[in-house]
């Protein structure tokens, strides 16, 4: 039986040989280590006009999302937060064609940090990652843990549901009888594992309601020749593989709303009912707890 032991946790802030520059190089060599996916390094020590240098600029190769990453050994502090948000804002204004997200990496994400960040929830996309270092003999292991995920912005349509409510006839004109009926098919699948849902017709999408209240873990956008099903769920390798292995036509993950977008052609729901049901169950459970 192999020996199990508790590794020695150390502070990099007090380490004589490890600096922020060293950590920066390690992440640059293997961006996947921080747990945000298979990112591509765009730049290091990126000069910001009258604002210093951005530690790392990363990009998701499968989307137009960029991450402005700031690293700090020791505890987060107010200047670190302001610097990270300032760099995010500069890059967003310089390259508006990309979707930008600020990332703070620190050894100690303090409660004060969460108090300050709570002021921005829903307005600034921000991810906080805690970096822990452990000593194994002469070697040091790094563990990166996401302690604050990006807060998805509330859908504008959700805020406008009362005054922007429509009806089925409105969607029959935007889509077709066949594509609107696809929303009925999905609703039937949902009620097969969780009773009480009904369709709610809004200006920009057909949503879900339960007990008279919006419950949009999935929404529907009927088009003329197909329907787009959007399932709210954090992006995960498991769901990515399910979609790919079952030949579902994913139209790209929407990072802003935290949703998978799947194109369903007329007649396809019946053929792939079980896998669609599985994805909807996961989304409902994640959304409603």
- For residue 71, what is the enclosing H or E element? strand 65-75
Residue 1 belongs to some domain of the structure:
no
Asked which of 83, 118, 148 is the last residue of a domain, the reply is 148
One domain, residues 131 and 19: yes
Strands 99-108 and 126-136, bridge-based pairing: parallel
One domain, residues 168 and 281: yes
Contact present, 48 and 87 (Cβ < 8 Å): yes
Number of domains present in the structure of the chain: 2
What pLDDT band is residue 164 in, cutting at 50, 70 and 90?
low
**Residue partners of 287: CB distance under 8 A and separation at least 6:** 215, 217, 232, 233
One domain, residues 72 and 105: yes
What pLDDT band is residue 139 in, cutting at 50, 70 and 90?
confident
One domain, residues 238 and 114: no
Least confident of 121-135, 155-169, 217-231: 155-169
Asked which of 148, 183, 201 is the last residue of a domain, the reply is 148
Chain segment 232-288, per-residue pLDDT in tens: 999 888 999 999 999 999 988 887 678 999 999 999 999 999 999 999 999 999 998
276-287 burial, b for 16+ CB within 10 Å, e for fewer? beebbbbbbeeb
Which domain range does residue 107 map to? 8-148
Higher per-residue pLDDT: 218 or 139: 218
Tokens 């549901």 sit on residue: 161
pLDDT the model gives residue 120: 67
One domain, residues 133 and 23: yes
- Give percent above pLDDT 90 in the chain: 44
**Taking the CA of residue 211 as centre, how many other CA atoms within 13 Å lie in the half-sphere pointing to its CB?**
1
Asked which of 85, 113, 148 is the last residue of a domain, the reply is 148
Does 72 score more than 50 pLDDT? yes
One domain, residues 143 and 209: no
- CATH number of the CATH domain containing 86: 3.40.1350.10
Strands 52-59 and 40-48, bridge-based pairing: antiparallel
One domain, residues 79 and 182: no
Instruction: Calculate the alpha carbon distances from 130 to 34, 68, 113, 186, 255 in Å.
Output: 9, 16, 12, 40, 21
């Amino acid at each position: 039986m192999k020996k199990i032991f508790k590794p020695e946790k150390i502070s990099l802030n007090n380490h004589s040989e490890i600096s922020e520059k060293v950590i920066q190089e390690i992440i640059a060599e293997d961006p996947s280590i921080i747990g945000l996916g298979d990112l591509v390094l765009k730049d290091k020590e990126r000069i910001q006009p009258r604002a210093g240098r951005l530690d790392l600029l990363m990009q998701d190769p499968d989307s137009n999302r960029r991450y402005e990453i700031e690293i700090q050994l020791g505890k987060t502090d107010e200047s670190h937060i302001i610097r990270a948000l300032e760099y995010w804002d500069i890059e967003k204004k310089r390259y508006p064609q990309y979707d930008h997200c600020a990332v703070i990496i620190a050894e100690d994400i303090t409660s004060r940090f969460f108090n300050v960040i709570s002021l921005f929830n829903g307005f600034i996309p921000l991810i906080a990652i805690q970096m822990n270092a452990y000593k194994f003999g002469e070697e040091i292991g790094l563990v990166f843990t996401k302690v604050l995920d990006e807060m998805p912005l509330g859908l504008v349509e959700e805020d406008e549901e009362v005054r922007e409510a429509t009806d089925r006839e409105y969607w029959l004109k935007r889509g077709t009888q066949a594509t609107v009926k696809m929303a009925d098919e999905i609703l039937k699948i949902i009620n097969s594992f969780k009773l009480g849902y009904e369709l709610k017709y809004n200006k920009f999408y057909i949503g879900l309601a339960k007990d008279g209240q919006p419950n949009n873990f999935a929404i529907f956008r009927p088009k003329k020749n197909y329907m787009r099903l959007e399932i709210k769920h954090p992006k995960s390798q498991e769901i990515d593989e399910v979609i790919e292995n079952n030949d579902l036509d994913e139209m790209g993950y929407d990072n802003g709303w935290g949703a998978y977008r799947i194109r369903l052609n007329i007649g396809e729901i019946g053929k792939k009912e079980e896998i669609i049901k599985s994805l909807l169950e996961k989304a409902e459970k994640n959304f409603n707890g």
